Amino acid sequence: MTRVPRGREGRGVPVPPGNQTRITECDMRIRQGQTILFIGDSITDCGRRGPESPLGSGYVKIFSDMLLSRHPNRRMTVINKGISGDVVTGLRDRWKDDVLRHRPHWLSIKIGINDLHRTLRDDPAAVPPPLYREVYGQILERTRKTLPECKLLLIDPFYISTDDTPMSFRAQALRQLPEYIRTVHDLSRRYRTRHVKTHQLFQKLLKNHEPDTFCPEPVHPNLTGHLVIADAVYTALSAG
């Protein structure tokens, strides 16, 4: 049995080749020898700097396992650079060390829920929508100039709730979240990236399932929720 080797914190995990038959009809766009780097907050981190090193136990690890099982004859590298609690200004401050120095062929970014929470709580380090848009645009522009061949995937921030109770924190979050999502949509169009509309996807699923099916609280998905994200990422990276 071919295993994905475990590595030290921050190191890429090579997805090794094998002899099994390909079991999917999707044409995965990540090619032999290429690297994909995921960066974001706790949903991306998911323990990758602790016992679950180096990929965490969330959607990044599931996605890596999908690559291994469906494309055993390709050697690809997956890197996780998520940090719990991070915001877009935090990404900006660590962009050279955690992204540019690795020179990935593919880059996935999922950020925004902590920016929203800090803003709702009037945190001194709040990232309101105008600042979120400005800084997100800066890091994408920097990436385009430094790594012009790097292909981008933007993942919307999401909130797994349908709460409409007046003045509840959850309802406030759901009302303001579209401002952050709009930024991701606009930047995706401007930079011609691939795009995963995660919030829209979960809201559609909530029409038939309880929120607890995917998340014990609105922010941090359980295994089922992470599987939903990983499947959406895989699909986005398999499109033409």
Q: Per the domain annotation, does 173 fall within a domain? A: yes
- The confidence score (pLDDT) of residue 7 equals 35
Q: Per the domain annotation, does 164 fall within a domain? A: yes
Q: Per-residue pLDDT for 16 more than 60?
A: no
Give the chain's mean pLDDT. Answer: 91
Output the DSSP codes for 138-151. HHHHHHHHH-TT-E
Q: Give the domain CATH number at 134.
A: 3.40.50.1110
Cis previous bond, 54, omega within 30? yes
Pair type for strands 35-40 and 76-80: parallel
Of 59, 31, 32, 22, nearest in space to 44 by CA: 59
Q: Per-residue pLDDT for 164 more than 60?
A: yes
Q: Per-residue pLDDT for 11 more than 50?
A: no
End-to-end CA separation in angstroms for the chain: 32
How many separate domains does the chain show? 1
Domain hosting 73: range is: 13-236
Cis previous bond, 5, omega within 30? no
Residue 171, classed as helix, strand or coil, is: helix
Which residue's entry shows tokens 């996780």? 80
Q: Per the domain annotation, does 215 fall within a domain? A: yes
High-pLDDT (> 70) share of the chain, %: 89
39 and 108 Cβ atoms separated by less than 8 Å: yes
pLDDT digits (tens, 9 = 90+) for 166-175: 899 999 999 9
Q: How many CB atoms lie within 10 A of CB 204?
A: 10
**Displacement of CA 235 from its chain's centroid (Å):** 13
162 and 205 Cβ atoms separated by less than 8 Å: no
Q: Per the domain annotation, does 84 fall within a domain? A: yes
Q: Per the domain annotation, does 41 fall within a domain? A: yes
Q: Where are the alpha helices (DSSP H) in the chain?
A: 42-45, 59-70, 88-98, 113-120, 129-146, 169-191, 198-205, 223-236
Q: Encoding tokens for residue 175?
A: 């009302």
Report the distance separating Cα 69 and Cα 16, nearest Å.
Answer: 10
- The confidence score (pLDDT) of residue 166 equals 87
pLDDT digits (tens, 9 = 90+) for 115-139: 999 999 999 999 999 999 999 999 9
Whether the pTM exceeds 0.85: the reply is: yes
pLDDT digits (tens, 9 = 90+) for 181-239: 999 999 999 999 999 999 999 999 999 999 999 999 999 999 999 999 999 999 999 97
